[in-house]
Chain A
Amino acid sequence: MREGDLPVVTGAAPAPGVEDDFPSVPSRSLDTLWFQVAGTLCNLQCTHCFISCSPTNHSHEMLTLADVRRRLDEAIPLGVREYYFTGGEPFMNPEMLAILEETLRQGPATVLTNGLLLTPERCRRLRELSDASEYSLDVRVSIDGFDAGGNDPIRGAGTFDRIRAGIRELARAGLDPVVTITEAAPGSEGDAGRERFLAWMREIGLSRPRLKVLSVFRIGAESSRARGYEGWETLRGRQLSDAELDLLQCSSSRMVTARGVWVCPILLDEPAARMGESLSETLRPFPLQHGACFTCHAYGVTCRT
């Protein structure tokens, strides 16, 4: 490194002993269990994707119904409260509806989708699954602008119209989705951006508009679109209070992929974030040594709705 350059956190696993400099998050409970149900396979290739999902990214393969069923059994004695499904694009998984049906017998479920595969038939089935369960089914649809001009450069040509159509299909089926935007979405800034998105959601037919705004994580594709983490964006040497640690989702959640159990939904490209094979063995402290850990702490980010 030349003198004067900012040090860059590469995201590589630190040398032994380095984690001593970082605060550690305890595992308080396992409230939220995530499933990387589509692996890293997606029908889109968004420029801000923190795990660089694409039609050809096989870093994490899809989960099967049998995989999910085994994890649901493991979750019972641990008292898991809620289940989240993401990818990649979950509805590319041919067993997705069966997986949701099975999950909704055990607890509430949320699916994070890009909205492209929300056909009338699939939305009708989702409504049936929701009605048949005593637990909540939430569908979260991602979009990155009020119009094609804002969204399509991030999510792909022609996607704005298709996402909007998917949101409308959900509304027609009587399921009010949560619309998720990232801070990369043009016009999302501040209360005004938020109000504008809520108004847009009403315009397209959502009677109870629900909005979640997510920070961007400067890893994966996003590190090329904008920038990676800089040296100052770290929790190195920081002491976090119990209350601050409780706010971090990794104090009460884990992520299941086809390759094991990971600390959170964000760090799937980090070998050091794989915590084990069984859920129970991963309920232990984790060093907050990644740039993304700084984002979660500094901006109060949680992937939960």
Chain B
Amino acid sequence: MLHVPRVWCDVPDVTRLAFLGGVYSNSRALTAAAADARRWGADATYALGDFGAFGPHPDRVFPILLEGRIQAIQGNYEEALSEGAEDCRCGYTDPRDNHFAAISYRYTAENTSPEWKRWMATLPKTRHLDVGGRSVLLVHGSPRRINEFLWESTSPVAFLEKMLADAGADVLVCTHTGLPWSRRLPSGRLVVNCGALGRPANDGRTEVWYARLAFGRGGDVGVEIVPVAYDHAALAREMREERLPEEFVQTILTGWWTTCLEILPAKERARGRY
């Protein structure tokens, strides 16, 4: 049976919900984004999984989630780590992508304490919210697979309409790709990929992104995808101290992806430097 919490708020006209994508052990960006969401007046904040990977000191993320009352679902990382899986189940198909994914996963698995791995196992894989009568579905990848990549340029309208209809959702919020986007469908349904906090969006900027959804009483839903600045230079230093790959560090410092590139569709790949 699905857990369907009702989200109410004191603000008469609008319910404000913040959605945080893959944290990838970037506790500094998580702290900054959570503070930004509070300043915006978020009634609730949700984190859509992949708390580890890529960055240093994965155990620093979880206390921030709990102290900030950020409600979490599993990503493929939490599913894999809590089950003791051999790899991250990221869904890559290219050998170079898989090479770097394996480095990330090994480091994260070795540096995540057993207590937090047990906690991850208790997280749901999806959440349904009822926001003023609208069904909002939170997933990591897609409603049908925890590691399905929903990219903007390969998620056409008809595909999304059917996916949301099958899932009984008016609004779908997802992450997993690391690139934020949103698409309003002809039926009135809405899809938001809230991006990732863990690394920049392959746009040459060092900020990371999260999504704010403002649900009006009249049925309208406002979407903002907002940048968050944080001390990325300090993160880069910590990554080097932990001997994480220099390719990862360069992404943090430049805003351009250097790894996990082969999974990108043509349009998204062409926007990056590599």
Listed in ascending order, the chain A residues whose CB lies under 8 Å from chain B are: 29, 31, 75-82, 106-108, 130, 134-138, 174-176, 191, 194, 208, 210
Contacts and interface: CB of A to CB of B under 8 A. Distances in A.
Which of B153, B159, B163 has the most C-beta atoms of chain A within 10 angstroms of its own C-beta? Answer: B159
Contact of B158 (A79, A134, A208): A79
User: What's the interface size class on B, roughly?
Assistant: 20 to 34
A176 B264 CA distance: 12
A137 B261 CA distance: 17
B161 A79 contact: yes
Interface string B88-114: 000000010000000000000000000
Given A108-B154, A176-B270, A208-B274, A81 B262 contact: no
Given A79-B161, A130-B266, A108 B274 contact: no
A62 B266 CA distance: 27
Contacts of B41: none
A76 B158 contact: yes
27 contacts: A29-B144, A31-B159, A77-B158, A79-B163, A80-B159, A81-B154, A81-B159, A82-B154, A106-B156, A106-B158, A108-B156, A130-B267, A134-B152, A135-B156, A136-B153, A136-B154, A136-B266, A136-B268, A138-B265, A138-B266, A174-B270, A175-B266, A176-B269, A176-B270, A208-B261, A208-B270, A210-B262
A256 to B, nearest CB: 16
B274 A194 contact: no
Contact of B155 (A81, A130, A210): A81
B3 interface: no
B interface, over-half SS? helix
Given A136-B266, A137-B266, A210-B262, A81 B274 contact: no
Given A176-B270, A194-B95, A81 B156 contact: yes
A131 B220 CA distance: 31
B162 interface: yes
Interface in B43-88: none
B156 A176 contact: no
Contact of A208 (B151, B153, B269): B269
Nearest to A134: B153
B151 to A, nearest CB: 8
Which of B156, B161, B268, B274 has the most C-beta atoms of chain A within 10 angstroms of its own C-beta? Answer: B156
